[in-house]
Amino acid sequence: MGMHRGRPQMPGYGIEEGDEGLLDWDAVRDRLRDSHNYWLSTVRPDGRPHAMPVWAVWLADAVWFSSSLRSRKVRNLRINAACTITTEDGRAPVIVDGTAEIITDLEPIRAFLDATNAKYSAGLDMQFLDPAVNATVRVAPREVFALEEARFTQTPTRFRLYS
C-alpha cells in the first residue's frame, strides 16, 4: 500500500503550512487499531446519512466490522459502498473515507473473528459470522484524516492511500 501524506485544505482555521507537525502514519494506524468503539456513516437509498457505533478491528490495512445482513448499515452499503468510519476520540480523531466490501471467504472471516476475539475478549465463534446471517465488512481506506486537538493548528494530516 502506498500513500501520500500532506495537509488538508482547511481555510479560515489558521492551519500552519508545510510539513512540520504532520502526524506519523504509524501513530495514526495505532489509533485505528486501539479505538474501542467506532462510528460508521453510510448513505441511505434516499441520500440521507446514517451513523451507527460499531466494534471494529484494523486488519490487513483495512477496518473490519460485522453486522446483520438485515441491518440498515449493511443494506446501505450494498447499494452504495462509500462510507466513513471514525475512531471514538474527538480529541485525537482518525477519520477513514473508504469503500466497503462484504467478505464471504471463510479464511479472512476467520482472521477477523480471531482479531475481534483478541481485542474485545468476545468469545465469538464462526457461527456468529455465518455469511448467511451476518456480513463481515472490510473498509479499504482511500483517505485518512487525523489531528490532535491540543495542537490543532499544527497536526491536521491527510493520508491518501493507493495500491
* pLDDT tens per residue across span 140-163: 999 999 999 999 999 999 999 987
| DSSP code at position 128 | G
What is the extent of the structural domain holding 112?
2-162
106-129 core/surface letters (b: 16 or more CB in 10 A; e: else): eebbebbbebbeebeeeeeeeeeb
* pLDDT tens per residue across span 19-71: 999 999 999 999 999 999 999 999 999 999 999 999 999 999 999 999 999 99
The C-alpha cell 459502498 sits at 81
Give which of 119, 135, 1, 10 is closest to 69, Cα–Cα: 135
CATH number at residue 148: 2.30.110.10
Give the global pTM: 0.94
Q: How many domains does the chain have?
A: 1
